[in-house]
Amino acid sequence: MRVQDFGEIIVKPTTENVEIQAGRCTDCGVPFCQTACPLQNNIPDWLGLSAEDEMREAWRIASATSTMPEICGRICPQDRLCEGSCTLNQSGWEAVTIGSVEAFIGDTAFDNGWVEPIRPLHERGQSVAIVGAGPAGMAAADRLREQGYQVTVYDRHDRPGGLLTYGIPGFKLEKRVVQRRVDRLIDGGVQFVANCDVGTDITLAELREKHDAVLLAMGVYQARALQAPGVGPGSTIPALEFLIHQNRRDLGETDNDTWHHARGRNVVVIGGGDTAMDCVRTAIRQGAASVTCLYRRDRENMPGSAREVSNAEEEGVVFEWLGAPKALMSKGGSTSAVRAARMTLSEPEFGKRRDIVAVPGGDFDLPADMVIEALGFEPEKFAAHHDDLSLTEWDTVATARSGFATSLPGVYAAGDAVRGASLVVWAVRDGQDAAAEIDRYLRTQTEEAAA
């Protein structure tokens, strides 16, 4: 049964299966799947090539627009993006399984040695610092190194990959899949500086002095905290701490099997996004006695992937829809239950999201000796160390309306640092586009110096 371990949940299809699935593509005149993809991947083209067993050419097309096809194929919420927009799906049939075909193309390319190493045609004397080794930083490093720039990636963790390594569980994305991307960058000449917290271990000013351009791609890691009576130190566990600990265990990096472990416990996860889904499914695999997801809205208004919700239900997770936490109850100094208020949705108004309203007398208790907060993430106060860096009212890095330039010359920003918490595929898109803008900037600098 798939919940017995943290191995990746993927039944590798045969070439024949992929050809049949890819052959279902209707090659519609307006490729809605492509327009729904943040990367604008040429999906109909590589589906058509896959249907004809032209896998190497399919890989060439897929990798032209994405630096991580095999990763996005695994973790993108295709039901909300390409597959959700598939003409077959819109017509009441099952969508083409675009994600599984994309992952298969990428895996086949690696297995057959088609993933070419980064070998720039010309080495450039200019260097770029990238802050953050997550998907945006890695995508930008790939594109910039291809253009011949000397690229150094600074990251606070001991391994590159960001949330790909330490946030997303192994049953969705095996770490070997991330590591081979990291290895390709290292082999291509990208340097990684681990355990380096920019703002503490090195300043942005020092990076600007050392490099010709800087890209801020550090993501957002500040968890939103639950505000309720009974919440205090140690009463709850932040979602990312919970997920990082399990990923470190999977990587063999911790001997402590009890810290943040759900075995035999009644677990309540508060939140309704994809991170909450990662937490409930991780708790199930750790052997929790029960796992409940408490979310204040209904199923239709849940921000997480509908596919993830279905997977969680299949694995034994119970969902308490329209329930908002009111307080943590304790017994003997330890959390024993979550008291929640039953909610209802207000009457719909045109152009507005429906509000949630408490149902009088609708309070209920959920047994819980382990409560995980998955309420989303906010940007950290990065600018506290960099007074001249402009932020938005949401504390994300402010950039030019039509690009990635910040208020500091030669400093750019991309991914969640600009968008706020978002999808990996958007981080990849932003990283690639930011790299192109940095390339134009540095070429202009070179031309001006030569004039």
Confidence at 132, pLDDT banded by 50, 70, 90: very high
Range with the poorest average pLDDT among 13-22, 187-196, 400-409, 442-451: 442-451
- The residue-averaged pLDDT of 71-82 equals 94
State the CATH class of domain 2-111.
mainly alpha
Tokens of 326: 């009111």
> What tens digit of pLDDT does each residue of 310-321 get?
999 999 999 999
**Whether residue 451 has pLDDT greater than 90:** no
Q: Report the alpha-carbon distance of residue 6 to residue 10 in Å, rounded.
A: 12
Contact 309, 299 (CB under 8 A): yes
Q: What is the pLDDT of residue 257?
A: 58
Q: What is the pLDDT of residue 171?
A: 92
**Whether residue 371 has pLDDT greater than 60:** yes
> Cα 223–224–227 angle (5° rounding)?
135
Q: What is the pLDDT of residue 105?
A: 96
Work out the mean pLDDT of the chain and round it to a whole number.
91
Name the percent of the chain in helix, strand, coil, to the closest 5. 40, 15, 45
**Whether residue 384 has pLDDT greater than 60:** no
pTM: 0.93
**Whether residue 7 has pLDDT greater than 70:** no
Q: Where in the chain is the domain with CATH 3.50.50.60?
A: 127-220+379-450, 223-377
**Whether residue 254 has pLDDT greater than 70:** no
Q: What letter does residue 13 receive in the DSSP assignment?
A: P
CATH architecture for segment(s) 127-220+379-450: 3-Layer(bba) Sandwich (3.50)
Q: What is the pLDDT of residue 10?
A: 63
Q: Where in the chain is the domain with CATH 1.10.1060.10?
A: 2-111
**Whether residue 242 has pLDDT greater than 90:** yes
**Whether residue 118 has pLDDT greater than 80:** yes
Q: What is the pLDDT of residue 146?
A: 98
**Whether residue 381 has pLDDT greater than 90:** no
Return contacts of 55-64, CB within 8 angstroms, 24+ apart.
55/15, 55/105, 55/108, 55/109, 56/109, 56/112, 56/114, 58/105, 59/105, 59/106, 59/108, 59/109, 59/114, 59/115, 62/102, 62/105, 62/106, 63/109, 63/115
Confidence at 222, pLDDT banded by 50, 70, 90: confident
Confidence at 385, pLDDT banded by 50, 70, 90: low
Cα separations in angstroms, 419 against 212, 227, 398 = 25, 25, 10
> What tens digit of pLDDT does each residue of 317-338 get?
999 999 999 999 988 778 999 9
Amino acid at 53: D
**Whether residue 383 has pLDDT greater than 80:** no
Confidence at 440, pLDDT banded by 50, 70, 90: very high
Confidence at 253, pLDDT banded by 50, 70, 90: confident
For the chain, what percent of residues have pLDDT higher than 90?
Answer: 74
> What tens digit of pLDDT does each residue of 28-45 get?
888 999 999 999 999 999
Domain 223-377 in CATH 3.50.50.60? The answer is: yes
Q: What letter does residue 31 receive in the DSSP assignment?
A: -
**Whether residue 141 has pLDDT greater than 80:** yes
Secondary structure (DSSP) of 341-382: EEEEEPPP-TTSPPPEEEPTT--EEEE-SEEEE---EE---G
Q: Report the alpha-carbon distance of residue 352 to residue 211 in Å, rounded.
A: 46
> What tens digit of pLDDT does each residue of 149-158 get?
999 999 999 9
Secondary structure (DSSP) of 186-249: HHTT-EEE-S--BTTTB-HHHHHHHSSEEEE-----EEPPP--TT--TTTSEEHHHHHHHHHHH
User: Phi then psi for 163, rounded to 5 degrees?
Assistant: -65, -20
